[in-house]
Amino acid sequence: MIRLLASELLRARSRRLLWVAVVAIALGIVVGMSIAVANTDRPTQEQLDRAQRLYERDLRQCLDGQWFPPDEPLPEGYTSLEEFCNDQVTPQSYLSGVMELSQLPELLRGTSTVVLLLAALLGASLVGAEWSAGSMATVLAWEPRRIRLFAVRAAVVVVVAVAMAVFASVLLGLTYRLGVSLKGVTTGADDWLGQTGGVIGRIAVLAAIWSLFAYATTMIARSTAGGLGILFVELVVIEGFLRGLRPSIERWVLVQNATSWVSDQPFAIINQQTRQVISYVSPTAALVTLLVYAGIGLVLAAAWFRTRDVT
């Protein structure tokens, strides 16, 4: 098992696409952040003072109950009006066009879609190339135990996807932090490092799941393009159609659950007739849903790989 795992890791590390993706990520982040810093001006003290006054005014109004009707219950996840106001009214909301350290976690969440697309691409290509080249039979001659080979390759796909997600997120965080030190502000960013680490961890977990989806569909389709095509049809066409046809299915779609997990926010299940909230789905429940889907996909792909002829 160790020899097989080492061999698969070496094979993955030798893939040209992996290093092309690493270089493209690094260049894109450095160039993009350099442009952002060049087109950003450090706020003046007058702008900072004005933003602070507006923040204190709105926070006081919120705590006085002017923003939230006293006869309505607090939204899911809040236990007090003070907690709600501190979350909704933040100092950084009153500065526009400024690089703020407190916005780094939100920036990482916003760019997580690109990271997930790359994770899916790597998850599909790490196995799809051998199907396209017709060399899978040669691999099975060396390791005939198909389920073992399937499991080891799934583990390698997860390792590569997580490493890529962490690399991209950390590099983006470091370059943004450097940009803030040059032209930005650190207002309201007391726990920015802990929040950033939490977001990176969530993105890494989601990247692992997304790469497994792509890996499973590629093993079924037996090509990188086919695997990515199946995943695209599921996420865009099938889920989009079902959500439009039956909005109540929102609880079970991949995109909604992935968004809830990476944003660390619950999403509401709404009665379409009365437009009232029926319940909330927590980020943990969303993650469990994604893991169940990934498990089902892997079981189906493993069964398909075990029974079908590869010649």
Question: How does residue 145 score in pLDDT terms, banded at 50, 70 and 90?
Answer: confident
Higher pLDDT, 78 or 274: 78
Do residues 93 and 181 make contact, with C-beta atoms less than 8 angstroms apart?
no
Question: What are the tens digits of pLDDT across the range 193-221?
Answer: 888 999 999 999 999 999 999 999 999 98
Question: What are the tens digits of pLDDT across the range 160-191?
Answer: 999 999 999 999 999 999 988 887 777 666 77
Enumerate the domain spans of the chain. Answer: 2-43+95-307
pLDDT value for 51: 72
Question: What are the tens digits of pLDDT across the range 28-47?
Answer: 999 999 988 888 777 766 76
pLDDT value for 88: 73
- The one-character DSSP state at 65 is T
Q: What percent of the chain has pLDDT over 90?
A: 32
Question: What are the tens digits of pLDDT across the range 216-246?
Answer: 999 998 888 888 888 888 887 787 777 767 7
Half-sphere exposure of 75 (CA within 13 A, CB side): 14
CA dihedral of residues 153, 154, 159, 165 (deg, nearest 10): 130
Query: Among candidates 89, 158, 97, which has minimal Cα distance to 123?
Result: 158
